[in-house]
Structure 1
Amino acid sequence: MGFSTGKSAGDLNSEINVTPMVDVMLVLLVAFIITIPAVQNAVKINLPKTAATAPLTEVKPITVSVDSDSKVYINKQEVSVEGLESDLKSRVTATPDVPVNFQADEGVPYRSVAKAIAGIQRSGVTKLSVVTSPTGG
């Protein structure tokens, strides 16, 4: 619907009324604000089962393990979480592109896994693989 500007009876005002568009945008914004937290909390993860893959390198990798008691091992030798970084750093300086295979027990708390991965990252490792068990199918 146009309004008269007072010039003549035949002239129409061609401005767009943006109020309904703003109302629709506000309704969409509220809808997104309400639904996004619900979508983020609905994600359920059941990890370490994947298809088997072949190793990519011929250099013997270092294996870092975290057992069910949150004990950390490098190639089956127990080390402290604090000693993991320094031990790996010395091995990485000897062989810069050495791959590291990381494996953790399925029931280990995430805190222990995160500390071990952070130590691996700070040690300068550039090739890290997370080892999982095959699904069998």
Structure 2
Amino acid sequence: MGMGSLSDTDDDFNPEINTTPLVDVMLVLLIIFIITIPVINHSVKIDLPRATNQRDEIKPENINLSIDAQGLMYWNNETIDAAQMNARIAEASKKTPQPELHIRAERTTQYEKIVEIMAAAQSGGLSKIGFITDPQDK
């Protein structure tokens, strides 16, 4: 007579789960972990020196280029003409780190003048150009 069998024939499916292989595998894994854990945690205590990792970040200077309604240009509050502006842009583009060009224009300044300055800055080698605006409270 078979244990847990509902009929007398041997051809029927046995619904019981054989847990012996599962227990064998778990015991082998337990032994492996018991052996390997002390090896993994083994370390040598060393008093290492401490160092800081702070970059010396040099901030680029800002060039303020202002344009009034008549088209006069001011390089950091100093009046300049187009030839002086091109020379100063070429000189500024050679600096490391490269300075940022901040353009400030009056509301009534012609757009053509602003585009000429942007083109001169780009052809002169300045890659960082920004616009300064004054917000209005309405």
Query: Shorter-normalised TM-score: what interval?
Result: 0.5 to 0.7
Residue 94 of structure 2 aligns to a residue in which SS? helix
In the TM superposition, residue 133 of structure 1 has moved relative to its aligned partner by 0.8
The aligned counterpart of 2:95 is 94
Bigger radius of gyration among the two: 2
AA aligned opposite 2:135? P
Identity value in percent? 19
What stretches of structure 1 of length at least 5 have no aligned partner? 1-56
Deviation of the 1:122 alpha carbon = 1.3
Partner of 2:77: 76
List 4+ stretches of structure 1 deviating above 4 A: none
Q: Does 1:104 align with 2:105?
A: yes
Structure 2 unmatched runs, 5+: 1-57
Q: CA deviation at 1:136?
A: 3.1
In structure 2, how many angstroms separate the alpha carbons of the residues matched to 1:122 and 1:65? 19
| Structural RMSD (CA) | 2.0
Q: For CA contacts below 8 A with separation 6 or more, give which structure has more relative contact order.
A: 1
Preserved CA contact (<8 Å) 1:85 1:122: no
Q: 1:92 to 1:104 in 2, by over 3 A?
A: same
Task: After TM superposition, list the pairs within 5 Å mapping 1:49-88 onto structure 2.
Answer: 58-88=59-89
C-alpha distance after superposition, 1:37-80 (max 9, x if no partner) = xxxxxxxxxxxxxxxxxxxx943301111111101111111111
TM-score if structure 2 supplies the norm length? 0.52
User: Counterpart in 1 of 2:123?
Assistant: 122
Aligned residues: 81
Whether contact under 8 Å (2:92, 2:98) holds in the other structure is no
